């Protein structure tokens, strides 16, 4: 019977495995870093969306108050300003301009609460009427900022 002898050069094998191990560790490290980046990006987007939704909710709350009561109190104006105070940091100029319009119309309504005379009453009615379509308008303007999107 023949005796098959297998001789393995263990030193060479260890060097080859060591050489292969370094790139494998690098690939695994890059993969883990990429996954961590995706998770962090998702968490940031979610936190940003939550902060943006708070501004949207403060806006809708003021609009709903006007639609429900046809008037604005000082407390409503203050609550709106506090609730939308981060607007310049969270949105583009389109939302900031819109929020300024909402606030200005609410101030008009507040100032004209005790309207006397035909002209002031007409101004009050115009300001109150302006709010009638603002729930939908706010949803349109805020939509691109609070909608979930892939990427």
For every one of its 151 residues, what pLDDT tens digit does the chain have, with 9 covering 90 and above? 555 556 678 888 888 888 888 888 888 888 888 888 888 787 878 888 999 999 999 999 999 999 999 899 999 999 999 999 999 999 999 999 999 999 999 999 998 888 788 888 888 888 889 999 899 999 999 998 987 665 4
Closest CA to 59 of 85, 88, 89, 83: 83
- Stretch (H or E) spanning 83: helix 74-83
For the entire predicted model, the pTM comes to 0.74
């Amino acid at each position: 019977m023949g005796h098959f002898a297998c001789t393995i050069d263990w030193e060479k094998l260890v060097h080859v495995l060591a050489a292969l191990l370094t790139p494998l560790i690098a690939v695994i490290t890059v993969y883990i870093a990429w996954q961590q980046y995706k998770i962090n990006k998702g968490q940031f987007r979610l936190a940003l969306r939550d902060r943006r939704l708070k501004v949207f909710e403060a806006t809708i709350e003021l609009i709903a108050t006007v639609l429900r009561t046809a008037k604005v109190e000082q407390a409503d104006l203050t609550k709106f300003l506090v609730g939308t105070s981060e607007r310049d940091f969270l949105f583009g100029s389109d939302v900031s301009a819109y929020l300024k319009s909402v606030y200005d119309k609410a101030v008009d309504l507040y100032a004209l609460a005790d309207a006397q005379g035909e002209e002031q009453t007409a101004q009050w009615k115009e300001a109150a009427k302006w709010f009638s379509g603002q729930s939908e308008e706010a949803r349109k303007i805020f939509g691109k900022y609070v909608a979930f999107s892939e990427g």
